[in-house]
Structure 1
């Protein structure tokens, strides 16, 4: 009998030790972004900086949640869909990460969606934008903290104050980001009386916009009322500058576009007074989280945080809150915690819509101000466009 009690006691101690060891295992999170092979690398680097600062803020510098260390594993997609799928599978399988965050390009990220479903692990999309990432091809393991094309374009439409006197020609790149964006813009104009007169799509990497610009000029020049070329191009090539150099003003045509990262904003000095919408600008939001981010980023990097930095922080804060509030730290526990969850970010509260897991959030209506003492054009706040002002279409129905 004593030997039986001893055996039971030994087993209980072993179970307790195993349980303690499991509790002390790190929570592994993979950052799956393109770190080589594209000019968009800067987006990934900003996202990583913001993510790490977000976890630091959320944990008070301990990098621990519920007594467990957070371990970050970085994977390079090289901006290639096949590589992205492989490294995400590696993260879920070999590295045993609980959550992955990625990716940078919408087209590449779309190819990652089925991998999350195959491994039954969460993929938190940041900073890729396309609406389709929470659309019919998504699945219950996909959550998205980044804004989507509908938010970009509904906010852009609100900034243009559309009515029956507005005539617009659009220019976008011919892939998921560009086409989703223009579809969202057209939807945002429905019922306003404004007219889309033509749509131009160019390959990624285009540097000569002459032909597209001439077609847009011809479609707009004889219209009565306000005439605008909307540019929705994420890559290089300087489409706004090259089209501006063709003097659209001779036809009373103006250029409109969303905001951009700080390294690109010096080029906006050519467009004083232009109004548009953007995800974030560091001076536009006054709250505890943003104030900390701006102050710490200035201390560490001698430059203010950019909008992908803010996005990376928002994704980290979402994960931190989910881990803190989930009844169980596993995929099902996190999904239950995240559906409908509201959390604070540098740009105010965000909420994961339960139906499709898109984070609903505010946008910034800006007007470009040029200050010779500032290296870049300043997207000065006109107002914050709140989430409930935008009618964001549902993607995947849960």
Structure 2
């Protein structure tokens, strides 16, 4: 069972403490009140760590957009923070606590993420940790920081399923609303197995926590079908681009469908190559920056005037989506779209619904808790059904056994970007109308298949 400490003993005796040398001896961790009392009278300090520079800065920016809009949605008299770079920001509603957000840049590097998370706890005396876009970064923080402090960690949008499925990483003070690779795979693989005429599947993935976790979950669902053969998965380094040889081998082995678990750095090269072969391509919808490049591959393969029918006939899709702005029709999502467009000049993207929801859940916890202490916030979040979410009222529910929020997923084909969204979704393709909505329970790893059990 997880060991509890207070922030007065944060990181003492751990490897992380050794890494900062004399910092802990400087008296940065004080015995000041840890946020107790009426939540509306408190200042809640949020230590945020996301990539805000480098090749993958957009991932962090999208996550921040969701979080800032989630806070703003819960209060009528505040606007979302409109700056997505590192710094200190204040959200001060009239009817609620003051939120001080200290945002540090991780540059998508796990070592940097661990270091800045430690700095936020030790030097900035934060009450909440929020962040972890890289799954390896989130794992590092859970390994080294979380067990040594009483601070709740709102994890996201890191998408490795094991963060809340494996007993190695799940933790009673770690909560994730963001959808993950297991949900991608279990939603998409079920559709592939039940609705598509395929017999042999080749899975590809990046050689890291994100890729291996996704491939493992696709396999777990696909192997339940007696009619589908699964070839030995292939893993590549991030940024790999020479897929022709592996695709030749897959087709020679009988593959008539391929799936790839990759991020922006690799997915466009993978799909661009796969489109030259007579195979069905499945996986998860990507965020804007990947879709821009992927859309370029579609234009190159199908021509400038391609249609939705051209895409479907090419074998591209269908794909699952954790969230995109046009997959849900409800008042919260409508307001969220307007807020995001007005503030950031684009529609909400893939990673943002989960971080919107975790911010909404934090406010709900503060409203429901008797005080603003760490324990009270954790108690309120545990098992919570989140009222205000982009997937609708009560659209996310934290499972008590692992603190992962369950939510529904959709399956859709890519379509040409409609004229309505040309200015706010700058890519040649976008998700089409959902052809299937996967219920939250069906998208989740069953409890008896998880290593984690916090209940």
| TM-score, normalised via structure 2 length | 0.76
What are the within-5 Å matches in structure 2 for residues 149-298 of structure 1?
A: 149-162=181-194, 165-193=198-226, 194-220=228-254, 227-237=256-266, 238-244=268-274, 247-249=276-278, 253-266=279-292, 267-268=294-295, 269=298, 272-273=311-312, 274-298=317-341
Q: Give the alignment's Cα RMSD to 1 decimal.
A: 2.4
Deviation at 1:21, TM superposition (A): 11
User: Comparing both structures, which one devotes a greater share of its residues to strand?
Assistant: 1
CA contact (8 A) 2:135 2:160 kept: yes
CA contact (8 A) 2:193 2:222 kept: no
Partner of 1:49 in structure 2?
65
- The structure with more radius of gyration: 1
Partner of 2:153 in structure 1?
123
Gaps of 5+ in 1: 1-18, 222-226
What are the within-5 Å matches in structure 2 for residues 331-342 of structure 1?
A: 331-342=374-385
CA contact (8 A) 1:65 1:320 kept: no
Deviation at 1:288, TM superposition (A): 1.3
Deviations 1:292-350 (A, max 9, x none): 01112223333211122323211211111111111221111111111110013102310
Deviation at 1:366, TM superposition (A): 0.6
What are the within-5 Å matches in structure 2 for residues 2-41 of structure 1?
A: 24-37=41-54, 39-41=55-57
Which stretch of the first structure deviates more once superposed, 207-216 or 119-128?
Answer: 207-216
Deviation at 1:132, TM superposition (A): 1.7
Q: Confirm or deny that 1:396 pairs with 2:452.
A: yes
Alignment partner of 1:136 out of 161, 167, 184: 167
What are the within-5 Å matches in structure 2 for residues 88-127 of structure 1?
A: 88-114=117-143, 115-127=145-157
Deviations 1:257-306 (A, max 9, x none): 21011233242445712212011111110111110011122233332111
**In structure 2, distance between residues paired with 1:136 and 1:154:** 20
Gaps of 5+ in 2: 1-35, 79-91, 302-309
**In structure 2, distance between residues paired with 1:118 and 1:65:** 34
CA contact (8 A) 1:162 1:189 kept: no
| TM-score, normalised via structure 1 length | 0.86
Paired residue secondary structure (2:367): helix
CA contact (8 A) 1:171 1:231 kept: yes
Deviations 1:12-42 (A, max 9, x none): xxxxxxx9999744111121112234x2210
**In structure 2, distance between residues paired with 1:22 and 1:186:** 46
Q: How many residues align?
A: 371
Deviation at 1:83, TM superposition (A): 2.0
Deviation at 1:378, TM superposition (A): 2.7
Deviation at 1:369, TM superposition (A): 2.0
